[in-house]
Amino acid sequence: MSAEASGTPPLLEVEGVSKGFPGVQALDDVRLDLRHGEVLALVGENGAGKSTLMKLLAGIYTPDAGVFRMNGRDLLLDGPRHAQEQGISIIHQEFNLMPDLTVAQNIFIGREERGAGIFLDDRALNRRAQDLFDRLGLALDPAEPVERLTVARQQMVEIAKALSFDAKVLIMDEPTAALNDAEVDVLFELIRRFRSPETGVIYISHRMEELARISDRITVLRDGRYIDTLVTAETDQRTVISLMVGRQLAGDDRPTGSAPAGEPVLSVRGLSTKRLLRDVSFDVHAGEILGFAGLMGAGRTEVARAIVGADRRDSGVISVRGREVQIQSPADAARLGIGYLSEDRKQLGVLLERSVRENIVLASLKDYLGALGFVRDRRIETTGREYVQKLRIKTPSTAQLVRNLSGGNQQKVVIAKWLAKDCDVLIFDEPTRGIDVGAKEEIYGLLRDLAGQGKAIVMISSELPEVLRLADRIAVMAEGRLTAVLDNAAATQENVMDYATRFSAEGTITR
């Protein structure tokens, strides 16, 4: 299947493609070739550049440099519709469906069957959809509203829509994320059917064992660069993972991972949620940093949100200093000294349009009320200045709007807010997302200092080197379960990645 007749250009070729965003070089001189009739897996860690490459191929972004070729001819991809018309169809991770429309209406949106004038001919549309389903062997009802379909069937609709464009190249982004085993089988059968001497599939997935089942070759990206392409039959999971992870570990300043002593400050037992989490249990001690590693969607953020009561827990016991506590909302959590620093800083962490000092005292405003409930501005200013100095927040004054601060300094403001609240447990969700390298170092130092002062710190990060460098112990999650808690000394990028891809036997997260 993989051998291309010599001289024939590949079905799709990507050459020297680069794409930068302010502050990040998402793709740097990336290449890739998809041969006729093959399934090419595209793998890489979070942030390796897979989705950027996808969006370039979808015509959503335009590349800064590089060329795309299809069957040897240069391709210009001008907008999503244009890419589809040239034979490139993409099935995104989050579906692009209109839930209120029927299956057939979704598939042919923008390409309706018209009767006279502005009138629609939905019968013809349904027939057209039915023909398509017959051809693909799909059991879908064209007239069924999409919102009534299960996720698996919605995905079938997406695939049918992609194929209705007479796609030559089908790109699938984590297509099995929401499917159960039987549904995965159906999906693979569809892919096999789609595959022909004129077509090819680019398959993005984190699930190693799927790659072995469905792919012919595997292309690895890391840090926005092309690393290697392997023939699936001639390689193994270890090799692929080590290529994905690749990087040298940062320095010798890794924590020693001394066994935590004493009573845990925060302990979580049997935490489960309806949607994702299954029986998560762990402890955090004073003075330690517990890192959470895992792939996107593994449930790390969900753990944090469930602990602080931002999401509903189905079961689970949370204890603070050995005493069981009831946390129904982030306000309860804050009262108990648990601060959650969201990954979505701009949406959930700071008030961009308010001043630095207002943000700092926001969570503890009650302490700044004088007689009759008036806010005591002078004390707020004192506290604001104290933390600006302590955390070295770069701002001309405490009255500066947070909007005007850099990402790193905004993050410091959030940290100051929880310090002002006098929290003992600080849960950092992606504390260095979107901040530049220098500021990252400062945040790392700050987290270490806080642990040194006896705070218990939980750090969630998608950057494995960051976790390895900072965390005393590392909790690894996969599909809502905790698959390992490793001492730093015992952790390597390889074994963490191994635990992060340990999917359960059923392989799904649907109930």
Partner 1 sequence: MSPTTTPQRSDTPSTSAYAAVDAGTPRFARLRGSLQQLLAAASLIVIVVFFSFASSHFFTANNLISILTAATVTGILALGTTFVIITGGIDLSIGTVMVLCGVMAGVFLTYWGWPLWAGVAATIVFGGLIGLINGVNVSVLGIPPFIATLGMMLIAAGLSLVISGTKPIYFNETPEFQSIMNLSIIPGMRFPLGVLIFIVMIVIAAVLLSKTIVGRYTFSIGSNEAATALSGVNVRRWKIIIYTMAGLFVGLAGVLSASRLSSAQPTGGMGLELEAIAAVVIGGTSLQGGKGSIVGTVIGALIMAVLTNGLRIISVPQEWQSVAVGVVILVAVYLDMLRRRRAG
Residue with tokens 């009739």, as numbered in its chain: 37
What backbone phi and psi angles, to 5 degrees, belong to 510? -75, 135
What are the tokens at 470? Answer: 């900072």
* Residue 369 binds partner 1, judged by CB under 8 A: no
**CA–CA distance, 300 with 23 (Å, rounded to integer):** 26
For residue 375, what are the β-bridge partners? 369
* Residue 472 binds partner 1, judged by CB under 8 A: no
CA angle 464, 467, 468 (to 5 degrees): 85
Closer to partner 1 by Cβ: residue 190 or 243:
190
Contacts of 234 (CB under 8 A, 6+ apart): none
Contact between 266 and 283 (Cβ < 8 Å): yes
The correct pick among 2, 8, 62, 96 for binding partner 1 (CB under 8 A) is 96
* Residue 279 binds partner 1, judged by CB under 8 A: no
Q: Which stretch binds partner 1 (CB under 8 A): 145-153, 322-330, 443-451, 488-496?
A: 145-153
Closer to partner 1 by Cβ: residue 39 or 320:
39
Closer to partner 1 by Cβ: residue 13 or 122:
122
What are the tokens at 311? Answer: 């999401």
Residue with tokens 């390409």, as numbered in its chain: 111
Closer to partner 1 by Cβ: residue 97 or 286:
97
SS3 352: coil
In the bound complex, what is the minimum distance in angstroms from residue 508's beta carbon to partner 1? 10
In the bound complex, what is the minimum distance in angstroms from residue 144's beta carbon to partner 1? 7
**CA–CA distance, 400 with 404 (Å, rounded to integer):** 7
Closer to partner 1 by Cβ: residue 154 or 232:
154
Strand order in the sheet with 12-21: 24-34, 12-21, 65-70, 73-75
In the bound complex, what is the minimum distance in angstroms from residue 186's beta carbon to partner 1? 6
* Residue 197 binds partner 1, judged by CB under 8 A: no
Closer to partner 1 by Cβ: residue 147 or 436:
147
What are the tokens at 176? Answer: 């099995």
Closer to partner 1 by Cβ: residue 100 or 131:
100
The correct pick among 180, 229, 237, 319 for binding partner 1 (CB under 8 A) is 180
* Residue 21 binds partner 1, judged by CB under 8 A: no
What are the tokens at 223? Answer: 């840090």
Q: Which stretch binds partner 1 (CB under 8 A): 101-109, 197-205, 323-331, 384-392?
A: 101-109
Contacts of 297 (CB under 8 A, 6+ apart): 177
The correct pick among 12, 57, 91, 97 for binding partner 1 (CB under 8 A) is 97
Closer to partner 1 by Cβ: residue 97 or 443:
97
* Residue 505 binds partner 1, judged by CB under 8 A: no
Q: Which stretch binds partner 1 (CB under 8 A): 136-144, 169-177, 349-357, 438-446?
A: 136-144
**CA–CA distance, 173 with 161 (Å, rounded to integer):** 15
DSSP letter assigned to residue 5: P
Question: x/- contact string, 147-176, with partner 1 (CB under 8 A)?
Answer: xxxxxxxx-x--------------------
In the bound complex, what is the minimum distance in angstroms from residue 227's beta carbon to partner 1? 31
Question: x/- contact string, 53-92, with partner 1 (CB under 8 A)?
Answer: --------------------------xxx--x--------
The correct pick among 64, 141, 228, 463 for binding partner 1 (CB under 8 A) is 141
H or E element, residue 271: strand 266-272
Contact between 348 and 355 (Cβ < 8 Å): no
Closer to partner 1 by Cβ: residue 184 or 327:
184
In the bound complex, what is the minimum distance in angstroms from residue 273's beta carbon to partner 1? 13
* Residue 186 binds partner 1, judged by CB under 8 A: yes
The correct pick among 137, 370, 445, 454 for binding partner 1 (CB under 8 A) is 137
* Residue 109 binds partner 1, judged by CB under 8 A: yes
Closer to partner 1 by Cβ: residue 20 or 145:
145
SS3 272: strand
Q: Is 37 exposed, middle or buried (0-12, 13-18, 19+ CB in 10 A)?
A: middle
Contact between 282 and 275 (Cβ < 8 Å): no
SS3 320: strand
Closer to partner 1 by Cβ: residue 113 or 228:
113
DSSP letter assigned to residue 417: H
Contact between 509 and 183 (Cβ < 8 Å): no
Q: Which stretch binds partner 1 (CB under 8 A): 132-140, 210-218, 244-252, 472-480?
A: 132-140
Write out the E strands in 301-430. Answer: 315-320, 323-325, 338-341, 425-429
In the bound complex, what is the minimum distance in angstroms from residue 109's beta carbon to partner 1? 5
In the bound complex, what is the minimum distance in angstroms from residue 331's beta carbon to partner 1? 25
H or E element, residue 282: strand 280-284
C-alpha closest to that of 295 among 317, 276, 318, 316? 276
Q: Could you list the residues that contact partner 1 (CB under 8 A)?
A: 79-81, 84, 96-101, 105, 109-112, 114, 118-120, 137-139, 141, 144-145, 147-154, 156, 178, 180, 182-183, 185-186, 189, 510-511
